[in-house]
Each structure stands twice: as C-alpha cells, then as structure tokens.
Structure 1
Amino acid sequence: MTAVPVPRQRDIPAAESGQPGIPQQPLTLLVIQDDPAGGLTVPEILDTDGQRIRIRTARNLTEAARLLTQDVHCILLDLSLPGAGLGSGPARVTATAVETAGDELATLRQVLRIAPRHAVLVLTAEADAERAAEAVRVGAQDFLFRDELDGRLLSRAIRYAVERKRADIAQYKLAESKLRAQENARLERGLLPTPLLEGSDIRFAARYRPGRSRALLGGDFYDAVRTPDGTVHAMIGDVCGHGPDEAALGVELRIAWRALTLAGLSGDDLLATLQQVLEVERPCDEIFATLCTVDISPDGRRAGLCLAGHPAPLVARTEGPARLLPYEDSGPALGLLPRARWPRRQVELGSSWGLMLYTDGLIEGRIGTGRERLGQDGMVEMINRHLDRGLAGEGLLEAAVTEARSLNGGELTDDVALVLLARG
C-alpha cells in the first residue's frame, strides 16, 4: 500500500511520574518501523480525552533503545521490520541475532527484553493473523492490521495496551510479594524460635522488629532453653550489619548456641566455641557479633551473666525500680580478638523478678530531631514508666518499641530484639 508519513516528531518534555505504563500526562507512542516514509495511515492521533498522542519514530532497535525514555508509554512495532539485530548491515549482527535466526518474532522478543515495563503493540498485515496471535502469546499486549488502522482504533488500542500492561505489572508484583512473604516466613521460623522451657515456672516473652525495609528478619537473634538439670539458659545477640548475609549468620549462631547449650556447654567455653563458628561462617573478616547469655539456676533465684561486647540486661525486682545489671569485666564481641575470654558474673535475682535482654537497636534511636540518642539511661527511665503503669510481658515490650519509634520520629533504622524473662 502507499505509505503516508506519520506525524513529525517534536521535542518531548520529561515525564512527571517516571513510571512507564502509568500515564499521568499525555500518552507517548514509540513507533518502530524501517520505512522512512512511515507505514501508518494516520495523520494525527487523539486519545479519548481529545489530547494529541505524541509520537516518536525509530527505524531500528538501536534508535528505539535511544528514544525509549521513561515518558514513553507504548511501543508500536511493525512486524515487517527486517532482521533481529540492533540495526542494519553485517556490522550490526549480534550474538542474539545469530541465536534467533529463523525466528519470525525475534525482533519482538528483543523489544520485550529492552522494554520489559512498556506496553507493546504489533502492526502486521491481515493475512498474517496467525503470526499476530503468536506475538500476543509471546508478550505483546495486542495486534493491529495495517489495512484496518485508523486514528480512533489506534488510540483505543494504545489506551488498552497501557492499562493491560499496568495490570500485568501489578499482578506480577503481587505474586512476587506473596512469594517473598512465604520465603521470609520460612526464614523467620529459623530466626524467631520457639523457646524450650517446658517444666519451668519462668515466663517468656519476645519482640522482634527488623531494620531492613520489607524484611522479616535481620542480624539480631535470640533463644531460650531449659536443660535437664532445670537450668534455664537464654541469650540475645546482634550480628553487625543489616543484610541477608548477616541475617543468615544470626540464624546459624542461634542454632549453634542451642545445640552447644543442650550439649552442656556454658559461659566462656560456649562463647569460645561460638566464636569459632562465626569465624568459619562469616562472609568476611570484618563481621563480628555481640552476645549476652544468662543461665538461671533451677530455683530461679540467681543467674550467671556473660557479655561479649553486648549491653547489659535490665533487671526489675519488687523492692525497687528497674536497673541495669553490672557490666564490668565483660569480654569483647565475638570475632574481634583471637583467644579472647568472657568472664561469667554471678547475679542474685531473688524470688520475684523480671529480666529484659535487648539489642542496641532499641537504645540507638534518636530523641526528636536532634542528634541525641535514647541510650541506656533513657531506656531504663522508659521501662520504669511502663512498669509503673502495670505493663508486663509482651505488652511491656510492645510499649517499649512503640515509644522508641515515636521518639525517633519514625521507624528505627537498626534491628530491634527484646527478650523478657520473669518469675513470681
């Protein structure tokens, strides 16, 4: 047929939204065809609101890739475009072109690769309906026949293709989000264990909040078990960093701690073995972990405390306000010093008490808009206020995290883990 030139391309202002497939401004169409005279019989295209659809033209995929900016909403590809390479001539034959030799839809497949988030229409002859349908199965949103094409039909097809692509992307993101949530839930079961405290009169509560966006796990970890002699062992730790490698290392250290504790190790021997595990499993030598362990005697009246570069726990007794346990003579974080030692300190608890273990994500949040941090003193004051209100267990931990977030003016950037053991 006789080709009629498409409207001349003019300067295109930058898109406001920056989201292909979500038209917040007049639509822009990128036409890919090798005929310089143009293969469209449409002198002007108006959308359903009467606004002109802006048109860009490219003779090959090299030009198309250059013109494919964020303000392009839809691509119209002429299936008669020869060759699958990013241009014309022997010099432009690519490895992809060789791989797809004989593939009638090779050019379309390349367009879909370079524009995965853009709506794509294909233009073909009516006699080639079978290939047009195959193009839709490959990934195009729709096909159009040259002999039937007019401005109104093209406008509707563009609008439909853009909306369908947006729906496809939304559906893909939803499915991806569900898969990520399922995977994170499986990992979370390893990170947030069920304490093994059967037969003990000690109550257990925990609260965990990861610092990474959209994550369910971070580098903090904790656990609690009761050994056959009636001793209750609990720990909390923090791997430096916030990525998935640190989260995985936290899970490994937590599992190793449980296994070693059930095997009878405690105190310095246990921490020395955990350091060996960390040194073998960490992704680089700069990674270290802080740890706090407590072992509570079978009668529940005293505990052994070991600190490896970790903040000291908080203890609350009936006869006075909550206060920090002594942290003098604590040892270094795991992974910092070879052949380090971690002294075990004996602590008297009494008959009725609460013991809170925590990671530094709770105390490093800011207070208001300044540079001041909550700190351990601010945390002690905060916990005492909540205790005076009668809060206990998970309610106390939830209130502490909520207030820390409020003081910080939003989400805390570091992981936060809290463990509360209580008796009486």
Structure 2
Amino acid sequence: RRQMIRILADEVQKYEANPTRSQCLTICQKISRQYLDTFADMTPSGKVIAGGYSSLLSQLKTRLENVNRSGKFRRFRSSGPSGMAGVKRGPTDMYGCTRFQPELPPEETDDTVEEKRLRLQSTHSKYGIHGEDRPEVTDLMNTTFSLQRKHINRIPAPSLADLQTSWPYLFTQRGIFSHFELLTDVAILRALELSIEECGNAIVEYFRTKVKTADVQKILAQEATDDLTFLVVQLLMAHFKESPDGLILTTDEFATAADVETSLSLPASPRLILRGNEQKLSGWMVSAEGHVIFEGVLPTFSTGLAAVFATFYIFNLQYQDEAAKTLEFVQRDMDPSVTDDEGTNRLSLKADRTDVEHSYGETEDSLSTLRKPEYESSDGFGLEIATSLLRDVEQSVFYEEDSGSQTSLSVAHEDAEPLTEKSFFFFS
C-alpha cells in the first residue's frame, strides 16, 4: 500500500504539482470504489466507513506534502478567486492570510480606488442591496479589495457600522464569501461542505458509540434535524458543554432584521440567527456589535455557519469563549487544501494574532473584549481540547483495531505524519 501511494503521488504530480484536496478526493473515491476490498476503510465486519476513502486520501495528501516540503517549490493557482486569471497567491503574509494587506493593483492609485469605492456607494444608494447582482459591482469590489483591507485593518479599528457605510456590498452573503476567498484563497462554503461530506457521519458515529454523556445522547435521541451540519454543531457544543446561545440564536421564520434587534438581546460578539426551526429553516442572519449586519440568501445552515465563520476572520475577531471550542474544532476539521512551504496548514486563525490590537473602549457593547492578543478561553484549554477531540474522532473511526475484549486506537499507515495540532483544519 505504501508503494502504491508513492506511485500514485508521482503520477498525479505529472499533471498537477500541488493538487488540491478536492482533486485528490475525486481520485481516492474512484480507487476505493473500484478496489473496495484492497483500499476502502472497512470495519472487521465488512462495513464501509465514511465513504471508504478517508485514510487513502490522508495518505495521498501527506505524501504530496512531504514531496513538496523542500521549500524550493512554490504554489500558484492558474486563476484566482472569481476568475481573476493570472493572479498568483502570495506567501502567508499575516495570520495565515495570503492577502491580509495587499498592494494596490498595478493600474490603480489611491485616488482611483477611492473613486471606485464612491461609485459603489452611489450604486447602493440607487439600487439598494440588490445592486450586488450588477456585473460592475463585482468588478469594483474585486478592484477595491486592497482598500477594503486597509479600512478593516486600521488601528484603532472602525466599528462595523462605519465599515458598512463605506462598503455596503461587503455586508452581503456574496460580499462576505468573495472577500474571504480573496483574503485566503479558500472558498469557505465549499470547504465546509467537503468537510461535512467527508467527516460528518464519522463524527456523529463517534458520538453515538464513544461518548455517553447525557447531553450528547439526548441530542442523538431527539433526531430533531435532518441537517448533518447542524447535528454535528449541536453535538460538539453539547460535548464541550457550550450553550447553543453562544453561537446560534433562533427567531420567528418571518422576522425581519428590525424585529430581531427589537426582540432579541444581541451580544457584541458574532451570532448566527436562524429564522424558523431545525425542521424548517426559512433563512438566517449574522449579528455583531448588537446589530444584524447582513442576511443570507441561501436558507441552509451550512451557508449561515460558513458566513459567520468568515465574519470572524475578515474582521479580525476573536472567538467568543461561549463557543470557542466548537469553532476551533470546526476550523481544524475544514481543510482548505492549502499548505505553506513547510507542509503545515496555511490558515491559522486567531491563535497567534499578536500584532492586531483594536480598541473600542470599555463598554459591553464593544468588540474590544474579542480582539485579544492571543487565544484564550474560560478554562484556557479551548484549542487543545478541540484538537484532542478531532484526534480521537479520526483515530477511533479510521484506525480502530480490535485487541481481544478491548478496543485500542492506533495509526495504521506508515506514511501518516504525526497527529499534531497542525495536522488538522475544518474547515484534516
């Protein structure tokens, strides 16, 4: 098997020097389906585990990263986000971003990008939020990305209300996802969907068979939702003893943003607000600084979760303690398929943002408490706990060995790199 992985990696690199995880996923799915008994992940009873391709995919990606780890190889994409042909990804310039504070486009000046920002404001005044469907708005938002980052990264940081006035089309589902992809080279919604497709059922099965706490088993017994992403988040929050209100709020299915701001006590830290219930979700909103900052278009929980996660990253926000462990787990489970020259994951959110110090004053409604110099949670072990659980899930589902009357956990394949914190992300 080890030799086969090496041959496969060599053949893949003849066509793509640094294939993405999604490209490797397609290859591994086909191999595991065609050669089920040889390469598929199976229990001793012959049951296929989580699609059957996870360990093969992990080995292939690890081999490719090891081959490219010399530092001489540089990774570029043939086209950037939103079809920006010819845009190459830069090095990790700040906090794992590839374009934390990029330079102006070669043909632009400070005056021209400011003029384009004003054109965006004018379009919003004329057409409202629906103006984002106009092709020129997409082009202008891409061209002014460097100015958007400059405004967001100011010290002291502007309020989100001020940013929304300056950049109304940033505060939309499309604007948030597009900005995140330009910032990180990661299509966050797709990354989350791939992660759930690959690991969601395995995570649920882990909680069903390995975790016997009352809160977790209560959620499993209720079967209140058919949405796998929502179920995974509920189980994680129950396992970490985090209140759902620390991340998710619910309201009436017909509620408007004004209704939400009146009826709910919105905290300063970001929240995903669901309209309706688990069985019938009619929409979602994201709030921060005590106000609804934008509403979703696609009424799915995955879309809302991706949007609220992107909000933390775009605006340099610290995870709130009430949901920090769950968010850290999700972050490490969503693999963006982008690694740096040392083979480690390129995105490393919030854990070491020591350079950004924002201050809004000392009021409870400010975000100053969220923008901390380093990660910390109420018990000080949020990141470690999330990583430990992810390790347990991967080991128990994919590398389980029956040793007599007890079950022992071990890594079964030789090419696997050590199970460390950097081995995992969302969005392993």
TM-score using structure 1 length: 0.22
- Bigger Cα Rg: 1
**Structure with higher RCO (Cα < 8 A, 6+ apart):** 2
More strand by share: 1
TM-score using structure 2 length: 0.22
